[in-house]
């Protein structure tokens, strides 16, 4: 499994923490703290991706509308 960017690093850290958790001599409290930290990172990166995608979509939609309006009727941009 290859992941790139901030999501990839968060996922790989989660996997590493999960592997450490399998060894029972590993301190459980430490695992819980790390799980919280990496869980927060993972959620944040997911939210960031969603926001970026929505922002990109909005920019594209506005650009398409502007081009359409400019092509169909030059007056439509002036008198709205």
pLDDT tens for each residue of 23-80: 545 556 666 776 777 777 667 777 778 888 888 888 888 888 887 776 766 565 555 5
What is the pLDDT averaged over residues 10-15? 58
Q: Which residue has the tokens 């939609």?
A: 61
Q: Which two tokens stand for residue 68?
A: 């359409």
pLDDT at position 49 is: 80
Single pTM value for the model: 0.35
Q: How many domains does the chain have?
A: 1
> Residue 73's Cα: distance from chain center in Å?
38
Structural domain range at position 48: 5-78
Distance of alpha carbon 42 from alpha carbon 32, whole angstroms = 15
CA distance 59 to 80: 20
């Amino acid at each position: 499994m290859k992941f790139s960017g901030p999501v990839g690093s968060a996922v790989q850290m989660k996997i590493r923490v999960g592997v450490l958790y399998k060894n029972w001599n590993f301190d459980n409290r430490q695992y819980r703290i790390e799980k919280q930290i990496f869980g927060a990172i993972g959620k944040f990166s997911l939210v960031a991706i969603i926001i970026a995608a929505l922002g990109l979509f909005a920019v594209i939609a506005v650009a398409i509308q502007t081009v359409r309006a400019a092509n169909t009727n030059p007056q439509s941009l002036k008198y709205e």
